[in-house]
Chains A and B, each alone.
Chain A
């Protein structure tokens, strides 16, 4: 019979503790026969001194001894071992059964006098096996802990990078309130908002398939596209198509982004929404109590090619009393302790005219519903207020930095035929190309506004022959946009030509913008009068161009327009 070898493959080491010399010698001899190296101690105190956790594999401990008894000594040895495990076997006579309870607290087994070699052998073998298993487990536990610490550190770093990407272009808006409670450091839900150069507020709420790091990985490219294109002045339709295009290429087949993109347009008191697979939103008027359900009517993003997306964009006339409440499915699926989900009605019931803040009401009701239960999904709740009052609307602060730009002379023009006009809005691309030819970045927003207004007039009233009086009713703008989309799709001829020329002028330069269309012409005064009686926050349109530009001349029955923008170095 050979003893179980310890991990170092040398003989196992036993510590024998007994105040009786005879017993010590007898047990030591038997263990020696079993292949053990033996150290012996004559009392508990000596045992604690001789015990070496690096060397000892098993301890045999008498109970009643002078100076320090076995139970106390075993306790001290256990404490010294900490997490490690070394079996302690108590040596018992027939007369000390009263100690058994105490012994089992600090010891692992008993061996009765007189000793039997077979019992001694099998007991020590099985205890040493347990010791090996136990210590292996401790080693693995430490390995896992070390791995987890490393992983946590990497997660923290990754989370920082993620925050930087998602938060980099993040512009706060007093109109946007949100509560995001991700299940992990990485959120599968994203919320982005930014203003376009034409002072519209674009918002994106998205929910990737799954949770955690996998779900949040793809939010970086989505955020970059959103911020980049919003800054350049693209509309939410183009942004949605671009994000879809990118995600279709990036994501595995079974992953997608359920998202809603909204554009709040102060000039036209309009909220445009493209919904792609998120739960129904609620458009609530806190004056009338009217609630409209905004249902998802497009595929989530990243599933089909953008050419198959056929995005449906809805336009809602809004006032400063309207609130768009959006949420991801985590909100409606949150269950109470009876397994009943919060549900769509749970949100809807919180929307009442009397409520000062429907947002707080939803949050507190949801929290009460969830009670003590653990969160089951990423939860995101967003309220977009259509509040157009100046204090709620981030206006661009004027750029106070001195302007020092060298003016050059150049000309360029682009002609966009009806097919091109159906496909995309050329203004952002044209403005960017202008900025590259002649650095006019400090004036980018003004130039963007002028070209946008001229282009839209030319397209809407010139080429598409839309009557601006359509916009005079409360839901007129939404109808106007629908008719515009329809006429654009039916368009079979015509083009718009945009020409730019620039030359040095006084202390700066002069940019001349010419626009021509092949439509039936229109009376510029009809557009101007439309603006005078228009909504209180307007002030855009031709009036705005006249404010920004030094000259605006319509000719050829409204088919030609020329605007000059003069800038100066400061």
Chain B
């Protein structure tokens, strides 16, 4: 732990805020269930980013006040949401046609593991899962133009989630383009993980010590 004495890992909210900064106005974005949904809280309404939900909602707005809930309007996580002016509805086949057809600029998913070749494992912990549930993760991972993953750098027991090859069942092959962890932001490139930035006080050497896959430093100004 002495390696980390000088640095403070990001909280879940900090990670979401860090990722949200990198989403440009005008992008169409799907946020996965769980931690990725927090990203929406850090995109100001005046920066027009259009959020899609797999169940046929394009232009999703924030969670409604309890007295203003529309009981017919939920997101893929089955939470009540709102529709922004300009939003639209569609059926499931059209919703996944826009995903599969490469019309989403970005999908943000959580993950158990990301490999240096961009493979992602996020839907099942083992081959003997009691009742595996994939939802739309495989469609999103294969279909969006960019796939960013937001996850802790290590498991609770200290194992690296950035690996040479995933050991958990895969969601998609070669799909991840960037990873936001509580310690760093890394691009997935043909040469493996390239570190874009790290939390203040953490050295690349210290980051490498807690990362299974080999890391490279991004060239300055890249």
A binds B: no
Binding site for A on B (CB under 8 A): none
Q: Which residues of A contact B (CB under 8 A)?
A: none
